[in-house]
């Protein structure tokens, strides 16, 4: 978190109104000045000593001057931030303080005490002048305090809460008020990927890939005698001259048609776990500098979607924790923005309402990219159902690298869960379902793994040469 350019902690912000009362009250310093002044005057009268009265008179004069200058304008504050979703990293906002009514600089607070909090960050206490000091008094009614924080987390995020209280001359203070930030939506980023695995059958009449069907394209299928319906520009005159010197038969070059692939991204957002096992049951706070399983799933899905859309393919999105209508497969940069926005909205729901009786319905000839932690058996049932229907499936493992567990009971529980998870991965591998790890140091190897899978799938397409 940064306040006025000074780094304090890490996190992010949003704007909101001030809530609460705006009454002014005297401080203990004002009460002490009046009480001590009266006691000293009474003592001087009883003791007949004028020197004691000279000590108490300044305190009473100061209290009288402070009472005459009692502020009449409440302190107002607002948090301002650029509207719309944002991306992970440094996020900035501006806290604007209005300490006067505009008619003068002596009717409001001169000092503001701030307490800035954000989930997962240290609480920051700050005291600053209510008005900028480098402008004329009649022009310096508002002060802008830049705030900033950073986080690797994505999706809906809770942001700043600012508690503030104005004071004047140390003798008057305002009732504390609060600026509570709204939930901010952070869009996931995308990592560059190369070729990705594609379905066995391609759809559409045009696209970036060569299908197994005859049509206009660039990849040669065979040389065939001319038949009615063939285009004259397809005639291969060299082959015709070699095979039919008398030009009795014309030969044409036939090519594979170009087509587009259909992919469906299925995000398992039923749970969200971090590297610390102690936070898996909802106890404690997940650190903002460590991505969770859902953060990794959003990042991986955004990377796959970006690579497929840029290649001209059609991509859809399904969320296992949401019963709302999924995003149907489509192409284009506008659809990619819808996909990324849908990924940012993915978050865990109530476990009782997140159970799906049937797996999501998929378009024909679509490849499935499943992003899951493999912490239960539901992903296995989904994969087997889709493969029975003829859909190739690629599983992306989004469980973060788990920190060493110290507590004995948690260590035993994680050991059992890890063994069960390894059994599921082994079962998928035995059934020919590739599992790509997307966490820690293995995230950098995901692109190489995808490239190898794409090359292997290309070699095994019937009717194609490696």
10 Å CB burial of residue 92 (0-12, 13-18, 19+) is middle
Residue 353 has pLDDT above 60, yes or no: no
User: What is the dihedral angle through the alpha carbons of 170, 175, 176, 181, rounded to the nearest 10 degrees?
Assistant: -130
220-225 and 251-259 beta bridge pairing: antiparallel
If one compares 136 and 421, the residue with the highest pLDDT of the two is: 421
Residues near 24 by beta carbon (within 8 Å), at least 6 away in sequence = 70, 71, 74, 172, 173, 174, 175
**DSSP letters for 288-301:** TTS--HHHHHHHHH
**DSSP letters for 380-405:** HHHHHHHHHTT--EEEEE-PPPPPPP
CB 272 within 8 A of CB 400: no
Please report, in angstroms and rounded to a whole number, the separation of the first and last CA atoms in the chain. 54
Mean pLDDT of the chain, nearest integer: 78
393-397 and 435-437 beta bridge pairing: parallel
pLDDT at 419: 95
Residue 252 binned pLDDT confidence (cut-offs 50, 70, 90)? confident
Residues near 251 by beta carbon (within 8 Å), at least 6 away in sequence = 223, 224, 225, 226, 235, 236, 239, 240, 243, 244
pLDDT at 27: 72
For the entire predicted model, the pTM comes to 0.74
User: Sheet containing 327-330: which strands, arranged edge to edge?
Assistant: 327-330, 314-319, 262-267, 366-372, 393-397, 435-437
Instruction: Name the token pair of 117.
Output: 């909090």
- pLDDT tens for 294-352 read 999 999 999 999 998 888 888 999 988 876 778 888 888 999 999 999 999 888 875 55
Spatial separation of the C-alpha atoms in residues 147 and 145, rounded to whole Å: 6
Q: Output phi, psi for 2, to 5 deg.
A: -125, 140
If one compares 214 and 93, the residue with the highest pLDDT of the two is: 93
Residue 201 binned pLDDT confidence (cut-offs 50, 70, 90)? low
142-151 and 76-80 beta bridge pairing: unpaired
- pLDDT tens for 115-147 read 988 887 888 888 888 777 665 444 456 788 888
pLDDT at 374: 92
Q: Output phi, psi for 377, to 5 deg.
A: -90, -10
Say how many CA atoms lie within 13 Å of 386 toward its Cβ.
30
Mean pLDDT of 377-389: 90
pLDDT at 290: 86
Residue 396 has pLDDT above 90, yes or no: yes
Q: Output phi, psi for 436, to 5 deg.
A: -105, 125
Spatial separation of the C-alpha atoms in residues 179 and 281, rounded to whole Å: 31
Instruction: Name the token pair of 307.
Output: 């690579």
Spatial separation of the C-alpha atoms in residues 429 and 417, rounded to whole Å: 18
Q: Output phi, psi for 53, to 5 deg.
A: -65, -35
Spatial separation of the C-alpha atoms in residues 219 and 450, rounded to whole Å: 23
Mean pLDDT of 187-204: 80
Residue 458 binned pLDDT confidence (cut-offs 50, 70, 90)? low
- Give the Cβ contact number of residue 239 at 10 Å: 14
Spatial separation of the C-alpha atoms in residues 197 and 392, rounded to whole Å: 9
Residue 466 binned pLDDT confidence (cut-offs 50, 70, 90)? very low
- pLDDT tens for 422-431 read 999 999 999 9
Ramachandran category for residue 51: left, alpha or beta (phi over 0 → left; psi -120 to 50 → alpha)? alpha
Q: What is the DSSP letter of 356?
A: -
Residue 239 binned pLDDT confidence (cut-offs 50, 70, 90)? confident
- pLDDT tens for 6-60 read 334 333 333 333 333 457 777 767 777 777 777 877 887 787 777 777 777 777 7
């Amino acid at each position: 978190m940064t306040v006025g350019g000074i780094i304090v902690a890490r996190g992010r912000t949003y704007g909101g109104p001030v809530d609460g009362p705006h009454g002014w009250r005297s401080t203990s310093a004002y009460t002490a000045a009046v009480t001590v002044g009266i006691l000293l005057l009474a003592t001087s009268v009883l003791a007949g000593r004028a020197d004691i009265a000279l000590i108490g008179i300044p305190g009473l004069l100061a209290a009288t001057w402070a009472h005459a200058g009692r502020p009449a304008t409440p302190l107002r504050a607002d948090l301002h931030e650029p509207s719309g979703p944002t991306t992970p990293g440094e996020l900035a906002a501006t806290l604007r303080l209005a300490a006067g009514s505009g008619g003068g600089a002596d009717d409001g607070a001169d000092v503001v005490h701030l307490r800035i909090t954000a989930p997962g960050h240290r609480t920051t206490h700050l005291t600053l002048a209510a008005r900028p000091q480098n402008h004329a008094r009649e022009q310096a009614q508002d002060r802008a305090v830049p705030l900033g924080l950073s986080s690797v987390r994505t999706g809906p995020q809770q942001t700043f809460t600012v508690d503030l209280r104005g004071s004047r001359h140390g003798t008057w203070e305002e009732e504390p008020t609060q600026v509570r930030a709204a939930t901010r939506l952070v869009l996931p980023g995308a990592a560059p990927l190369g070729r990705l695995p594609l379905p066995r059958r391609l759809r559409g009449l045009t696209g970036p890939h060569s299908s197994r069907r005859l049509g206009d394209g660039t990849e040669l299928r065979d040389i065939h005698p001319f038949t009615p319906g063939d285009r004259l520009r397809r005639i291969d005159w060299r082959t015709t001259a070699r095979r039919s010197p008398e030009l009795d038969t014309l030969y044409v070059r036939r090519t594979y048609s170009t087509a587009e692939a259909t992919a469906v991204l299925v995000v398992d957002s039923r749970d969200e776990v971090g590297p610390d096992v102690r936070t898996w049951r909802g106890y404690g706070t997940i650190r903002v500098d460590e991505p969770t399983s859902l953060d990794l799933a959003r990042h991986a899905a955004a990377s796959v979607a970006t690579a497929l859309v840029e290649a001209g393919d059609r991509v859809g999105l399904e969320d296992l924790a949401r019963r709302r209508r999924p995003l149907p497969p489509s192409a284009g940069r506008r659809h990619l923005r819808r996909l990324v926005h849908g990924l940012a909205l993915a978050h865990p729901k109530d476990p009782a309402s997140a159970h799906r009786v049937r797996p999501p319905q998929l378009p024909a000839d679509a490849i499935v990219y499943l992003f899951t932690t493999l912490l239960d058996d539901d992903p296995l049932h989904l994969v087997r159902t889709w493969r029975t229907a003829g859909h190739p499936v690629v599983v992306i493992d989004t469980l973060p690298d788990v920190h060493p567990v110290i507590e004995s009971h948690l260590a035993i529980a994680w050991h059992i869960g890890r063994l069960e998870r390894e059994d599921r991965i082994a079962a998928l591998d035995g059934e020919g379902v590739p599992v790509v790890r997307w966490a820690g140091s293995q995230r950098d190897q995901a692109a190489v793994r995808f490239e190898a899978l794409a090359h292997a799938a290309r070699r095994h397409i019937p009717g194609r040469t490696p």
